[in-house]
Structure 1
């Protein structure tokens, strides 16, 4: 395939063409030439006013449902959604039925994603059936292609189990994840514990439930060594704890869900279950600390935390609704409301090596792994913007800035024109 991209602004801090407008000629998945007024004949030409191009975007936490919850999202439609949302690489959570807790399940997931424009990087369950009782087949899953090990949205309740996991995973350079929630402190809470939870009569989850679990996990990491990733933090204290751990030289990374960066628990006033997420939406004080932590590098990744939930489990009474929101389609536009274009792209492309993904700059003779976007488009996020099977977007009705329109990856073009 020969592809010619005309007059695109390149946003790639690793590239010599950063912030320059240029033509890009690609042949058989390789960037052959970058320059002005390229005249090569191509099978396909892209010429879109205001087009920007960057390295392919990376998401550390997506869920699709399959196997077992295909009514929420299939792998095929999930990867298509990721492509049109600008993502070339996504890390898939072990959030299915049966859960992905053995090497056969990893092989099956990878086979279903094979040949796709988007690279799917599977996470294996940390414990059997994510029940936090026995460790899953970590070594075998790692050999099969699992890039990390986590029980999605479930904390490791037994500290000795996490200790053993961190020690064992060092034998094969495995990355262990631990969800930051102390369930006994959280109790029956379902939203952030603050004045809004009191006003609305909803049981609260205090910041302490997250902070205490993170403090525990960091003590364990200091004792065992190894590699730890803490997904989707949400509190001011969490940022401080992880910052201090990094100063000590501990091998720890963390992420934040985009909705926890931007939205607060004020959104709960309408009892809209789309705003029921875990960790819960916190306060403005927390969002400010999270944004600062992301800018200074304490927080390593943002994630859409894309989690499709069917209507039967979402459009019910608030207490009974499942946690979760889709987020791939709104990720760029939401993030771009608080960061500049350069900052947004740097955040969306950072840290691939942590999850064994390739980092490829935009340069001649390099493999083309590109995301296409229009940064200046301002719009209200509506149902028509949703590509996922499920419609549970926390950003419905929100004002966004910038829109992803596709990718080029694995010698395949996916673009909305």
Structure 2
């Protein structure tokens, strides 16, 4: 594959060309030349778009493709296409499948599927057998097979001793442990944020304390054991504060946040739309502001779409009975450009998550492999059903204003364009 990117503004703070508009010549998957003007010669595909920007390929640390077991929601093949056309060259796959990803053969299945596509797939193995929170799964065997982290997707671990043992054990191979932040005894059967709006609407609620108490417990365990801990999809102002203080102590802690928790809040629940049923629940405007500040100051390491396709039979029902989750790959960039500085956003989609999850990355420079995302951060539009490429249509961002669109990706000596 030979490609010439014309007049592309490079966004990569580690590159000598950061902030500069250059032509970029790629031959057989390698960046051959970066210059002010490169003349097209021979059999080279020229790519020229309005306001073209290029960065290192984006990495999403929490994606569900539902295969094996729930192919009616999404398949890996279609999920790869969605991710590529949404700007992601790599994704970490959640283990919320059937059967679970709690042994090495299940990891091998995902690794082999991933080798066939343009998007790099990195399996997350279950932390416990069958995600039941009772016994540790085969962590080391899965690690050797290709799992990059271990956690039971959207399931908190009530057994503090089991998390302690996991943190200690994983240190033997520098493994990353993921702990979903929710105390189930406090959450009970709630599904929206506890506050004025839940009271007005008469919906069962989950207090912020359910998240914050679990995070405080996990941080105490991490301080006791050492090791590496990742807390996904935090949603409250106090959660940001707790993690900020833990980082000041020198703990090896990382965390993520979703675009919907940055952009939306519990005031959007007034229509009882089940697409707004997510976990953690949407919190308050104050929480969203604190989360944005946490991304900007580096307390929050990364942003994840938390892409979770749910079929219509399990989503378009009464809100209380609907499954949790929203798709998010297609809407991630457009929703984030509205609220974050561009370099902050790109860092939270590239170098930071790749560093935490141990996924390779390289700066945009001559001689390096081309693992790139092509985009326009200024285009404005309304996100509608026509923008959804996922098999399931449960998007929390339908009919929301967007700023920023994706042109495509280059990876593995191949190119996929969204348009």
Same fold (TM over 0.5): yes
Separation of aligned partners in 2, 1:246 and 1:10: 31
Query: Which residue number in structure 2 is paired with residue 382 of structure 1?
Result: 384
The TM-score normalised by the length of structure 1 is 0.99
Please state whether the residue corresponding to 2:330 is helix, strand or coil.
coil
Whether contact under 8 Å (2:57, 2:90) holds in the other structure is yes
Please state whether the residue corresponding to 2:325 is helix, strand or coil.
coil
- Which segments of 5 or more consecutive residues in structure 2 lack a partner in the other structure? none
Listed as ranges, the matches of 1:248-267 within 5 Å are 248-267=249-268
Q: Does 1:52 align with 2:53?
A: yes
Q: Does 1:356 align with 2:358?
A: yes
1:347-388 deviation line (CA, Å, top 9, x unaligned): 211321221211111110111010011111100000000110
Separation of aligned partners in 1, 2:393 and 2:301: 28
1:22-67 deviation line (CA, Å, top 9, x unaligned): 1111111000001122123343211112111111111110001000
Whether contact under 8 Å (2:296, 2:340) holds in the other structure is no
Separation of aligned partners in 2, 1:308 and 1:172: 32
Please state whether the residue corresponding to 1:94 is helix, strand or coil.
coil
Separation of aligned partners in 2, 1:295 and 1:341: 11
Whether contact under 8 Å (2:2, 2:44) holds in the other structure is yes
- Which segments of 5 or more consecutive residues in structure 1 lack a partner in the other structure? none
How many correspondences in the alignment? 417
Q: Does 1:298 align with 2:296?
A: no
Query: Which residue number in structure 2 is paired with residue 404 of structure 1?
Result: 406
Separation of aligned partners in 1, 2:252 and 2:347: 21
Query: Which residue number in structure 2 is paired with residue 209 of structure 1?
Result: 210
Separation of aligned partners in 2, 1:303 and 1:412: 24
Whether contact under 8 Å (1:301, 1:350) holds in the other structure is no
RMSD (Å), alpha carbons: 0.9
Whether contact under 8 Å (2:314, 2:322) holds in the other structure is yes
Separation of aligned partners in 1, 2:21 and 2:299: 32
Whether contact under 8 Å (2:244, 2:299) holds in the other structure is yes
Please state whether the residue corresponding to 1:286 is helix, strand or coil.
helix
Separation of aligned partners in 2, 1:115 and 1:214: 38
The TM-score normalised by the length of structure 2 is 0.98
Separation of aligned partners in 1, 2:351 and 2:197: 35
Separation of aligned partners in 1, 2:123 and 2:117: 14
Listed as ranges, the matches of 1:256-295 within 5 Å are 256-295=257-296
